[in-house]
């Protein structure tokens, strides 16, 4: 923070309060962001529950003050400690969970009253924090855990959606590239109507209402990754945006990487030992985020496809039941394939020299982590805005190969099945030595280098952080 003192104000004057939504993919990047602002001299309070605090404590900077509030589980019919990642909630209970979290508006207000931070940075899923902060005259920044590209697509889709009629596919209007979507790939909230997720419609309405009124948006991205879309986000959509990522790059030491999202040291060291024996760039890593559940039929196809590809692989399987593996599978893949059941040390694996490709569901965190590791990817989107990230990876950045998943469908039982032969071909393509594969690998490597440069001193994200902190300090002086 030396440049701050040079400018006459001390960065450590700035007190920022962070409030995450308790879901791994929302929580982990916000912990990273809190650490990054702390390292730049801001005083940080991180508001969370005791269950979440125990998960993040090993990875949060010592200087960050954890302020604990409690979810009234019983009042909302929720099991105690249900925000733990190992405790996935049924769809019915998810609604209650959102309600229970929203009931934290009173303790949240009390914290603002007592601590009077200069700003709050709260998850997009906590739109009500805007009103509480506004009533106390405190600026609220939204943490948006997705890409500028996806936000631009969502904005364009909303404008063209009413005009689509029965069209099966369409080109999104007014974007820097020609992006064509199938109707089945779109993140259309209307698809939630009549499902157990219907309650989200009301929440998204509120999110929409308060985002433009908030002070601005903190994004886990970097300018050089999607420059035209950052510009579009600012100039066409009119948002105040700070790109401060890729934030996972702050986890440089192994202890952090190990403990991220829950410690499993034995598994991690087993993984690393296994990878150490493999040659450079020879292993494919397959993982579908924190919630990648598939039908047994699909898992069998994956198992056979990976086996037939003849490449080494680490495959993370989230499904609880494991009795569906093809007969004798373990024996057949011995030494060549490693199956991890549950939570994998993803950052450690992706950044191991032996890993040469990543099969991803295109969640934004995973997409960015793949980019940072300089890896080409096979894209296998399932839902949310993952189909948009696929477009970015495959068509704009040209570091991805589509496996051919075309239908937004969270229900694994009704999702179309991708056959083993298709998976095998995609892996051979990704890991192959053809001209296209080599070129893809070269581009991915450059992206990884650009990502690293963005967060270094003088890089675009580094500078954005400085600008934001300075602006927050200045605006306080004018109060
Ligand atoms: N992750 C991990 N181990 C796992 C699965 C996921 O460390 O076994 C981490 C991954 O590194 C990423 C996050 O969990 O940071 C998943 O976020 P993403 O946005 O990719 O997907 P989501 O879970 O929201 O579908």
pTM beyond cutoff 0.90 = yes
Residue matched to tokens 């004057």:
13
Q: Which atom of ligand 1 is nearest to the CA of 290?
A: 23
26 is annotated as an active-site residue: yes
DSSP string covering 416-450:
PPPPHHHHHHHHHHHHS-SHHHHHHHHHHHHHHHH
123 is annotated as an active-site residue: yes
**Ligand 1 pocket member 289 (CB < 6 A):** yes
pLDDT of residue 178: 97
Pairing of the two strands 169-171 and 180-182: antiparallel
pLDDT of residue 1: 31
How many A from CA of 115 to the centre of ligand 1?
32
**Ligand 1 pocket member 26 (CB < 6 A):** no
pLDDT of residue 164: 75
pLDDT of residue 257: 75
pLDDT of residue 10: 52
Question: Could you tell which of 261, 268, 364, 367 is best to mutate to test the pocket of ligand 1, judged by most ligand atoms within 8 Å of the CB?
Answer: 261
pLDDT of residue 100: 95
Looking only at Cα atoms, what is the longest distance across the chain? 70
pLDDT of residue 256: 72
Q: Atom 25, ligand 1: which residue's CA is nearest?
A: 289
Report H helices in 191-343. Answer: 199-210, 227-231, 254-259, 265-276, 296-309, 329-333
pLDDT of residue 85: 66
CA distances from residue 23 to 30, 67, 271, 290, 364 in whole angstroms, order as listed: 11, 18, 25, 9, 14
ipTM (interface predicted TM): 0.99
pLDDT in tens, the chain (479 residues): 333 333 444 555 899 999 999 888 899 999 999 999 999 999 999 999 999 999 899 889 999 999 999 999 999 999 998 887 655 678 788 899 999 999 999 999 999 999 999 999 999 999 999 999 999 999 999 999 999 999 999 999 988 877 777 889 999 999 999 999 999 999 988 888 888 889 999 999 999 999 999 999 999 999 999 999 999 999 999 999 999 999 999 877 777 777 777 666 778 889 999 999 999 999 999 999 988 899 999 999 999 999 999 999 999 998 878 789 999 999 999 999 999 988 899 999 999 999 999 999 999 999 999 999 999 999 999 999 999 999 999 999 999 999 999 999 878 999 999 999 999 999 999 999 999 999 999 999 999 999 999 999 999 999 999 999 999 999 886 55
State the DSSP H helix or E strand holding residue 105, giving kind and residue range, or none if neither.
helix 105-115
């Amino acid at each position: 923070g030396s440049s701050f003192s040079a400018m006459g104000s001390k960065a450590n004057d700035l007190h920022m309060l962070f409030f995450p939504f308790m879901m791994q993919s929302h929580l982990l990047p916000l912990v990273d962001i809190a650490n990054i602002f702390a390292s730049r001299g801001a005083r940080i309070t991180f508001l969370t529950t005791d269950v979440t605090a125990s998960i993040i404590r090993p990875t949060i900077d010592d200087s960050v003050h954890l302020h604990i509030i409690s979810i009234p589980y019983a009042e909302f019919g929720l099991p105690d400690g249900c925000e733990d990642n190992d405790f996935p909630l049924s769809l019915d209970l998810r609604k209650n969970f959102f309600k229970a979290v929203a009931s934290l508006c009173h303790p949240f207000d009390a914290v603002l009253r007592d601590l009077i931070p200069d700003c709050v940075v709260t998850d997009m899923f906590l739109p009500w924090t805007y009103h509480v902060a506004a009533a106390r005259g405190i600026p609220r920044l939204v943490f948006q855990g997705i890409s500028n590209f996806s936000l631009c697509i969502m904005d364009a889709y909303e404008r063209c959606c009413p005009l689509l009629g029965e069209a099966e596919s369409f080109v999104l209007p007014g974007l820097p590239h020609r992006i064509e979507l199938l109707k089945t790939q779109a993140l259309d909230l209307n698809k939630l109507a009549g499902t157990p997720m219907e309650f989200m419609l009301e929440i998204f309405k509120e999110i929409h209402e308060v985002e433009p009124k908030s002070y601005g948006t903190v994004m886990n991205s970097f300018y050089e990754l999607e420059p035209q879309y950052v510009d579009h986000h600012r100039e066409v959509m009119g948002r105040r945006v700070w790109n401060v990522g890729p934030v996972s790059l702050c986890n440089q030491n192994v202890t952090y990487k190990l403990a991220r999202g829950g410690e499993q040291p034995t598994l991690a060291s087993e993984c690393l030992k296994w990878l150490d024996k493999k040659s450079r760039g020879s292993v494919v890593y397959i993982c579908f985020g924190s919630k990648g559940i598939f039908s047994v039929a699909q898992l069998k196809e994956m198992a056979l496809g990976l086996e037939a590809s003849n490449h080494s692989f680490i495959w993370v399987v989230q499904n609880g039941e494991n009795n569906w593996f093809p007969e004798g599978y373990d024996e057949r893949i011995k030494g060549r394939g490693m199956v991890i059941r549950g939570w994998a040390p993803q950052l450690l694996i992706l950044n191991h020299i032996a890993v040469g490709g990543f099969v991803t569901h295109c969640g934004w965190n995973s997409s960015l982590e793949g980019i940072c590791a300089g890896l080409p990817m096979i894209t296998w989107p399932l839902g949310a805005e993952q189909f948009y990230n696929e477009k970015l990876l495959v068509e704009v950045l040209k570091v991805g190969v589509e496996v051919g998943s075309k239908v937004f469908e969270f229900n694994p039982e009704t999702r179309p099945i991708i056959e083993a032969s298709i998976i095998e071909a995609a892996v051979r393509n990704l890991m192959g030595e053809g001209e296209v594969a080599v070129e893809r690998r070269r581009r991915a490597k450059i992206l990884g280098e650009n990502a690293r440069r963005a967060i270094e001193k003088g890089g675009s994200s580094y500078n954005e952080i400085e600008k934001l902190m300075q602006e927050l300090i200045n605006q306080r002086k004018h109060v």
